[in-house]
Amino acid sequence: MKSFKIALAQFSPHIGNIEANAEKMQQLANEAKAQKSDLIIFPELATIGYPAEDLLLRPSLSKRTQLAFEQLSQVKDIVMVFGFVNQTEDGQRYNSAAVMKDGKILGIYNKQNLPNYGVFDEKRYFNEGHQHLVFEYLGHKFGVLICEDIWSLNTVQQLAQLNVETALVLNASPYEVGKPQHRVETMSALAKQMNLNLVYANQVGGQDDLIFDGTSFVINKDGAVAVQAPSFKETLLYSDYIGEQQSYQVTESSPTLETMAEIYQALVMATRDYVHRSGFPGVILGLSGGIDSALTLAIAVDAIGADKVQAVMMPYTYTSQISVEDAAAQAKNMGITFGIAEINPIVNSFMQTLYPFFGNAPADATEENLQARTRGTLLMGLSNKFGNLVLSTGNKSELSVGYCTLYGDMVGGFAVLKDVYKTIVFELAKYRNSISETPVIPERVITRPPSAELRPDQTDQDSLPAYDVLDAILYAYIEEDMSQDDIIAKGFDADVVKKVIRLVDFNEYKRRQGSIGPRISSRAFSRERRYPIINGWKAGL
């Protein structure tokens, strides 16, 4: 039995930029070769990146892919297995893997299982493949699978029956909480069941709302993890196959992350990739003295550095002194650019213009929204003038029930906490404080009762149930698809459940105009939960 070395390119493609991706893949292959690797495996659709959405339908795609193949043909003396879009002469399009050596294509595999649920739309773009690809190299029998294929017992069984020793699995598997560990555990059991070594290379990086965690790995056919790459980082991971032992060498792996660390790092990477790839020089956000903006600020600084982060406190009559102090303290702690802009004169001039229209109508949420929209407009003004991206700071609990102002605090290009429930916001804030010597978020921000400060002595719990109750109801309704009746049957107050569900349903129009934000849950809004705005579905059974 021969020994050999495999490289796993945990690679972050620039979506759509086929030219740049091919160049980077070439570099990685050459680097792997310099480290004496015999084979390098790239993620699913590595040439164009995942998900490229309707760019996959542009007529020049096959021409561009061809140019990428010419670029990759220049790599010598190493086998490359990489994902690409295979457009055949009969007009079919496949999500495929090529096996290439010294510029020759040794084989092409077309993905057989096309996910078309949740965040996936592969049947919009691709045809299904119907054939396995198996090749011998270095006296070893390899098979190729692409992402969803490895989750189909049928497909894997067929491959194993071809006496394949190692399945090379190309992936673009999106992150959600706990997914890295769930993947390894499932694959470990599968490897053992099928008596098959698994080499699993995953895309890494943030792409719009999707996060790819990487966490690539090699698992031996006995189920043991030979090696695992870190999450949320580009890496070239190596694994040695020891011929004598007929297994991949077990070496030290990156440690598995504890849940809050995992989420925090996911959000940091997503924010960094969005800012950098959208070409903004930095970010700006409104700091309110509350926990959402405090956590968003910490993530922004960890993502792109304090020198590229600007925050503005925009107090009004109802803003407490505590809020101004805490915001200023955190800004100072973190070493960012910070300014204060009083909004009273602007809000007052809005009021004066509107009074003749309002007549004797009593004050209501309208006046509160004016405060939020004045702040939004100020942030956008600063963004327009200096070019920084506005980060919005709302969380998933707020966005679910519409406890946020469209064109106000919802302003921004990237909503860092969009898919993070308020109860998790608290946990993340505590986690972030726990990893530095001195807390970056003032303690008081975490401990005082949350308030939007849009009315005197307001707290969030004037309008909403306690956040632990709210989040539990939301989770049941959104993530678990439970009905109103079933949630009430779990023991929650019926009126509270009805109100929460009514608010979630009603506020679809607001969410539809919100900015994108990184998905960390198993049911994020927008791409994954596609509800009509005009919606006559009645809550109940």
Catalytic residue at 44?
yes
Would you say 270 or 470 has its CB closer to its own copies?
270
Containing 101, the helix (H) or strand (E) segment is strand 93-101
The distance from CA 419 to its chain's CA centroid, rounded to whole angstroms, is: 9
Does 290 count as an annotated binding residue?
yes
Q: How far is the CB of 31 from its own copies (least distance, A)?
A: 22
Q: How far is the CB of 260 from its own copies (least distance, A)?
A: 26
Does 398 count as an annotated binding residue?
yes
Does 289 count as an annotated binding residue?
yes
Whether residue 51 is preceded by a cis peptide bond, meaning omega within 30 degrees of 0, is yes
Would you say 163 or 353 has its CB closer to its own copies?
353
Q: How far is the CB of 149 from its own copies (least distance, A)?
A: 18
Question: β-pairing, 93-101 with 79-87?
Answer: antiparallel
Does 514 count as an annotated binding residue?
no
Q: How far is the CB of 406 from its own copies (least distance, A)?
A: 8
What residue type is 460 in one-letter code?
D
Of 245, 248, 229, whose CA–CA distance to 237 is shortest? 229
Q: Identify the three-state secondary structure at position 533.
A: coil
Would you say 55 or 138 has its CB closer to its own copies?
55
Q: How far is the CB of 343 from its own copies (least distance, A)?
A: 7
Would you say 58 or 76 has its CB closer to its own copies?
58
Of 492, 484, 464, whose CA–CA distance to 395 is shortest? 464
Of 146, 23, 156, whose CA–CA distance to 85 is shortest? 146
Phi, psi of 528 (to 5 degrees): -105, -20
Does 389 count as an annotated binding residue?
no
Does 39 count as an annotated binding residue?
no
Would you say 17 or 193 has its CB closer to its own copies?
17
Active-site residue among 24, 122, 147, 368? 147
Containing 497, the helix (H) or strand (E) segment is helix 494-506
Does 179 count as an annotated binding residue?
yes
Q: How far is the CB of 152 from its own copies (least distance, A)?
A: 17
Catalytic residue at 147?
yes
Tokens of 232: 């949320």
Q: What angle do CA 21, 23, 26 make, to 5 degrees?
A: 110
**Cα separation, 431 vs 302, whole angstroms:** 13
Active-site residue among 111, 221, 418, 422? 111
Active-site residue among 5, 24, 44, 176? 44
Give the alpha-carbon dihedral of 125, 130, 131, 132, to 10 degrees. 70
Query: In the beta sheet, which residues pair with residue 83?
Result: 97
Would you say 376 or 450 has its CB closer to its own copies?
376
Residue stretches of the annotated binding site for L-glutamine? 117, 173, 179
Residue stretches of the annotated binding site for deamido-NAD(+)? 369, 398, 510
Active site members: 44, 111, 147
